Structure formats: structure tokens, C-alpha cells
Amino acid sequence: MKAADLIEVVKNLNPYKQFGKVTRVVGLTIESLGPKTAIGDICLLYPHEKQEPAMAEVVGFKEEKVLLMPLRQTFDIGPGCLVEATRKPLQVKAGQAIIGKVLDGSGRPLDGEQLAEGLTSVATETAPPNPLLRPRIDTPLSLGIKAIDGLLTVGKGQRVGIFAGSGVGKSTLLSMITRHSEADINVIALIGERGREVKDFIERDLGEEGMKRSVLVVATSDQPALMRIKGAMTATAIAEYFRDQGMHVNLMMDSVTRFAMAQREIGLAIGEPPATKGYTPSVFALLPRLLERSGTSENGSITAFYTVLVDGDDLNEPIADAVRGILDGHLVLDRKLADKGHYPAINVLKSVSRVMGDIVHKSHRQAAENFRQYLSAYRESEDLINIGAYKKGSSKAIDQAVKLYPAMNRFLQQSNDDTHPFEETINLLEKQFT
């Protein structure tokens, strides 16, 4: 380390430690008298027994009391326990050495191993890039999935929502994107997932090849609400680090809904009033702060895929509606298609890519529009066709749709292990539907 760096470190050293004392624990929150600190700072809670201190974040103030929320389950905290101020927000380690690792919400390896030396510390919460410094999205990203590459083309740096009810194939679609896309690295956040599903996703969906260029951040449903929020922030911070190195990153988060639920828990615990269907105002303030951090920057890009759970397949529920308004497109997974064994169950008529028109050539765009028109014509008359009530010759559009329907179905369906190069997909689309 250079002499100037050492001098800077010495200048920033605080020779005094500031402490407070726990006065009350209510629900999810811990109240303490002191120390002097600020919102978002990490404090260390010292149990009465001689144990390792537990990390907690300052989430609010109540008169002279500091409101803290622990990052891990705490069972030995009681009145009088010491609270030490670190005067710093949560930071995590990032670098090439974490590729292939599975981390918890605070950036520590889940297997208990130590991270390698020489990694860079990055803050979990940062400001999104300046809007005027964001390059425009102008390059398609090949995902190897025909339905998306051909009809809902995603650009490098685009942010896309995957909207679906439970059990319709969100995790499977994410695993296909991870294995087949052209990204340099994948950062995957599993937020609020069942513990059983984590190893299933790693071994069954990702596989050894997928893990070689991925970083997983896991905060399961049994973790405290704050840890689930930090899991999403940590994954985004790691993706930002690799973007700043000039890489193209795929960030995948499953799910934003559970992230919002965690923030609702925290908001209600510190006294926020419920606003829309029980969600507190801070939920709708936090969503854009998280989602706007991905996308393009001067150095690289983060193409982000956020899954959104929709109760009863209702796409107009508050979180789905808010997320759809922030992102650059959405893929809707349809339970009716999944019930028919149609995978991936993407309803292309309800899905949209807001940047597709700017990043594909004219013949590709025209073929995609023709495909949508034929599919829409068939779906509108599907009941009549199935019961034999439609007479051939009544409509040229429907006649052509019926003729092309088997080809459309083949184009939209794809097995998990199957991948198609981008150019091959576009050539097939233009050949059959121009």
C-alpha cells in the first residue's frame, strides 16, 4: 500500500467506539438508547453470553431511541446488551474469486468457507447511473430461446419482468437463460425461496456448466426480512461491480414480490401505515431504487430478469403493476399453456419488449408482427375451430392462421436443454412468417 493511501486510512480511523444499550425488543425491531448513528448504518449487537456479535441495521428512530433490525435470528439479545456503532452501511466483497460461489444475503459463503484475499469491498446500496450517462440499448442479446429471441427480442442492458403464478415455470425459464445466453457472467438472487429449492436449482437447473460462470446470492424464506432485502441489494451490487469491469452481466432475481413482502414486514414493524393492499409506502419507494440500478452504464451493461409472483394470475395486483411500470418489458407465463404441457409457457400476445423495435432489422420486425397477427386470429376463433363451427373460406386471415398454427406451436415450444443460435431463430421466423 502506498504512503498516501496509508495516510488516508489513518485519517479515517476513529479512535473511539460508540456504544448504546438495548432497552426493548418488540416483534422484529430492537430499540436501543444510543449510539450516535444514521439510517442504513450497521451496528453490532453483543449478547449477554460471550458470543460473536450480531449485525443489525438502523431502520428508524423513535424519539431518542434507535430502531434496529437484525440480519440474522437473534435469541440471546435482552435489555442492557451493548450496541456498537460501526458508522458504515453494509459492504460485501466482489471479484473474480466469487464466481461459482453461493453467498448469503450479507455476501458470506453459505458453505462456511472463507473468501479469498484481495477482493474489493462494494456498498450494497448505491445510486443508479446518471440517466444522461446511460448509453442507449442498441444490441440484441441472444438467450437461445426461440420465443424470446424471435418475438420478444431482449437487448443488452434491458430490464425485463417475468410475471407468473406459482408453478408455471419461472425457475426453469431462468435456468434456460442462464445456460444459453451470451452474457459474460450470471448473478442470480434467490430471495424468499424454500430452502429445499436452492440445491435443486443449483444441481438440476443450473448444473456444473451453469455454475462455472455464475454467482448465487441466497436468502431463504426462513431468514429475517432484512436479510431478504439485503440479498437483493447484495446481488445487484455484485452485478454492478462486474459491469464496472466492462463485462456484460445477466442479473436474475426470483422474486421481486418476496423482496416487496420483506420490506412490508419492516415497514409495518416500525410503524408505517399500510397503504395499498397492506403494502406500506416505503415498498413503492424502494422498488425503483432497486430496479433502476441495473441496465446500461458507460463501462458495461446489466441485463436484468426479475420474476414477479401474481396472486391468482392477477397481473393488476399492486406489486406487478408497479414493477411493470418501471421495467423495459415483461414476459407473461400463462397457466393455461403450462397445463397443456406447452413450455416455456410464454403468452407472447400478453408479453412485450419495449426496446425490440430499436434493435432488430425491418424484416425481423415484420415477421414477428405477422406471427402475432396469425396467432391472435387463431386464438380469437379457437373455440369455433375446435368444435368444427368455423367454415373454411369465411376469413382469409383465419384460414392462414389455421394453416400456420402447427408451425407456430413448434416455434414457441422448446425443451429445457435445447438451444437455438440467434441467427438461426431469425432465419426460421422470417422464412415461415414473412
DSSP secondary structure string, 142-164? --S-HHHHHHSPPBTT-EEEEEE
- Report the distance separating Cα 203 and Cα 317, nearest Å: 33
Assess whether pLDDT exceeds 90 at residue 234: yes
CA–CA distance from 424 to each of 143, 187, 428 (Å)?
Answer: 12, 27, 6
Quote the percentage of the chain above a pLDDT of 70.
Answer: 96
- Report the distance separating Cα 159 and Cα 424, nearest Å: 24
CATH topology of domain 92-360: Rossmann fold (3.40.50)
Q: Which residue spans of the chain are classified as CATH 2.40.30.20?
A: 13-89
SS3 406: helix
Q: Which residue spans of the chain are classified as CATH 1.20.1270.330?
A: 363-433
Backbone φ and ψ of 366, nearest 5°: -65, -40
Assess whether pLDDT exceeds 60 at residue 1: no
Q: Which residue spans of the chain are classified as CATH 3.40.50.12240?
A: 92-360
Q: Using 50, 70 and 90 to split pLDDT, how confident is the model at 302? A: very high
Q: What is the mean pLDDT of residues 400-404?
A: 90
Architecture of the domain delimited by 13-89 = Beta Barrel (2.40)
Q: Using 50, 70 and 90 to split pLDDT, how confident is the model at 358? A: very high
Q: What is the mean pLDDT of residues 58-75?
A: 87
Q: Using 50, 70 and 90 to split pLDDT, how confident is the model at 74? A: confident
Give the tens place of pLDDT for each residue, 112-145.
888 888 899 999 999 998 999 999 999 999 999 9
Average pLDDT, the chain: 89
User: In the chain, helix, strand, coil percent, each to 5?
Assistant: 40, 20, 40
CATH number 3.40.50.720 is the correct assignment for the domain at 363-433: no
